[in-house]
Amino acid sequence: MKAIEPGSGSDDAAEIAAAEAEARVPLWGRPGFLVRRLHQIHSALFLEECKAFNITPVQYGLMSTLLQHSGSDQRSLGVEIGIDRTNVADVLERLAERGLVRRERSETDRRSMNAYLTDEGRELVEQMYASMTRAQQRLLEPLAPEFRPAFLAMLTQLVEGNNKYSRAELRIDFKGRKGARRKSAEDD
């Protein structure tokens, strides 16, 4: 397939590329198939770059979230990373068994458990950062550098626009997004 060149008639080039892809393999004209395939590729790149740490992408996402939001409960962690409470509990249990996370009963809701990174967990997140970054860079490497911000913006738009259809709620007003402020308890 012919790559789209920056500065070319991008509408024409994009149409040609899409037609060539669909002619090659009909599945390549289906965004769901391509997103699933890209996720598989990203997972493989992440696991390859981070193999020395024996941490999955979901575990790293949860630990990264705890680094910023220490003491979060399972529900809050789930909406931060887009997985359900049961899966959060399973991931936290595996991380706690490795001594990377500790859990404590909430002082305000005795039914709830809050999670904290241990010193070892914080150190691991920091040690993994360069490897995780390499995996992200490798994923985007086939795109010309000037297309990468637009690609990320489009992915973000798709996630935000379709978030309501997910089985696991994802908070999309997270801190740091173009001036968006974090929802407080009073906003709920």
Q: Is residue 19 one of the residues assigned to a domain?
A: yes
Long-range contacts from 33-41, C-beta under 8 angstroms, 24+ separation: 38/139, 41/139
Nearest to residue 141, comparing CAs of 40, 38, 52, 53? Answer: 38
Please give the model's pTM, rounded to 2 decimal places: 0.75
Residue linked to tokens 């929802």:
183
As a whole number of angstroms, the distance between CA 23 and CA 52 comes to 41
Paired with 72 in beta bridges are 115
Domain with 91 in it: what CATH number?
1.10.10.10
Residue 92 structural domain? 10-145+167-172
The pLDDT, as a whole number, for residue 134 is 98
Q: Is residue 29 one of the residues assigned to a domain?
A: yes
- Residues present in the chain in total: 188
As a whole number of angstroms, the distance between CA 3 and CA 118 comes to 46
Paired with 104 in beta bridges are 114
In this predicted model, which residue has the larger pLDDT, 21 or 171?
171
Q: Is residue 122 one of the residues assigned to a domain?
A: yes
Q: What are phi and psi of 70, to 5 degrees?
A: -60, 140
How many domains, in total, are found in the chain? 1
Q: Is residue 151 one of the residues assigned to a domain?
A: no
Give 5's pLDDT tier (boundaries 50, 70, 90): low
In this predicted model, which residue has the larger pLDDT, 148 or 21?
148
Q: What's the mean pLDDT in 75-92?
A: 92
45-61 pLDDT per residue, tens = 999 999 999 999 999 99
